[in-house]
């Protein structure tokens, strides 16, 4: 050992540097999280007031979906020790607001909304396109969910196009949405799973039409009028990713959320909101004309819009 190694000044300096470095590294996560997203309350925090306001002011014609989602998400996020992940299945025709609602939920939980690295969106035709690769997809999906929940228990997984997903694939995530405290040391109980599907839309439309024919307001439609019919339709549809799935058979889907077909007044509301979002002053005459020019059914009565609000943004350019 050299004389320098025994120098008390050098030794003291080395210990001081090491101690300072250790202290910095201990504080480093706090410093880092000031500049990049972390799985911490400052980045993940539920805003009930924001969710309620967004559902009321941005989602049109969906009194039932708004009510169910607000109660389900609020109850889950306020529970520090949920027994299982929150599982929502959103159903209805294209343009009724399913994708939009999943974005609203993300925006009121994650600081970065849909851009959060803790929010994961899967589209069946993009991520799972080949039936022959089903075994590989199952393995990849399980690994993806386990890895991301391990990194952040408050992860959200959104599965779009469930009506185009290969039957059997979604069963691979059954263990992660069940009532297990942990699996291989990982708890999935604080995660959120959201499924989006057009399946069940026919049953939803029929109930809405029956109410209209009976002279009853759509706001009278309750969850009990639709949930059983939707869940059975989804479970028994051979072209659905939910076909005979254990997620339904074992009652692991917390809510089947129906999205009603939109009426002309709702199309006008969507158009008005779109103009405002573009910084334009709403042109009521143009909005009414655009809404009237869209296709409605039944053909003679023209009650419900065939395409909902999904095409509003592009169609508005023609009228304004």
The answer to the question of whether 49 is labelled as a binding residue is no
215 is known to lie in a ligand binding site = no
CA–CA distance, 31 with 126 (Å, rounded to integer): 37
Residue with tokens 């499924």: 195
Q: Is 96 annotated as a binding residue?
A: yes
* Residues 267 and 303 sit within 8 Å (Cβ to Cβ): no
User: Do 96 and 262 form a contact (C-beta atoms < 8 A)?
Assistant: yes
Q: Report whether 278 belongs to an annotated binding site.
A: no
The Cα angle at residue 10 between residues 7 and 11, in degrees rounded to 5: 85
Q: CA triplet 20, 24, 25: central angle to 5 degrees?
A: 120
- Confirm whether residue 92 is marked as ligand binding: yes
The Cα-based distances of 265 to 105, 291, 293 in angstroms read 25, 8, 13
Q: Of 68, 25, 102, 99, nearest to 225 (Cα)?
A: 68
d(Cα 106, Cα 110) in Å, to the nearest integer? 6
The answer to whether the annotation marks 98 as part of a ligand binding site is: yes
Nearest residue to 320 via CA among 270, 277, 284, 292: 284
Binding-site positions: 92-99
List residues forming the annotated binding site for ATP.
Answer: 92-99
């Amino acid at each position: 050992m050299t004389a320098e190694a025994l120098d008390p000044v050098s030794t003291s300096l080395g210990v001081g540097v090491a101690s300072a470095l250790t202290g910095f590294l201990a504080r480093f996560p706090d410093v880092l999280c000031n500049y990049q997203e972390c799985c911490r309350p400052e980045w993940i925090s539920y805003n009930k007031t924001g969710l309620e306001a967004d559902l009321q002011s941005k989602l049109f014609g969906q009194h039932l979906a708004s009510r169910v989602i607000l109660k389900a998400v609020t109850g889950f996020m306020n529970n520090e020790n949920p027994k299982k992940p929150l599982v929502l299945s959103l159903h209805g025709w294209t343009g009724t607001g399913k994708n939009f609602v999943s974005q609203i939920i993300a925006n009121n939980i994650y600081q970065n909304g849909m851009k959060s690295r803790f929010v994961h969106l899967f589209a069946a035709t993009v991520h799972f396109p080949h039936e022959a690769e089903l075994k590989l997809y199952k393995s990849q999906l399980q690994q993806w969910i386990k890895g991301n929940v391990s990194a952040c228990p408050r992860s959200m997984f959104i599965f779009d196009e469930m009506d185009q997903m290969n039957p059997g694939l979604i069963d691979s995530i059954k263990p992660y949405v069940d009532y297990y405290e942990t699996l291989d040391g990982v708890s999935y109980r604080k995660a959120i799973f959201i499924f989006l599907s057009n399946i069940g839309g026919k049953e939803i439309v029929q109930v809405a039409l029956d109410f209209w024919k009976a002279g009853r307001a759509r706001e009278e439609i309750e969850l009990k009028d639709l949930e059983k019919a939707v869940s059975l339709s989804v479970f028994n549809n051979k072209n659905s990713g939910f076909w005979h799935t254990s997620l339904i058979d074992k009652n692991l889907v917390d809510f089947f959320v129906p999205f009603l077909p939109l009426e002309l007044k709702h199309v006008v509301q969507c158009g008005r909101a779109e103009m405002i979002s573009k910084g334009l002053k709403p042109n009521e005459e143009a909005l009414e004309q655009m809404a009237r020019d869209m296709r409605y059914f039944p053909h003679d009565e023209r009650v419900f819009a065939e395409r909902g609000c999904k095409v509003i943004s592009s169609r508005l350019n023609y009228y304004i």
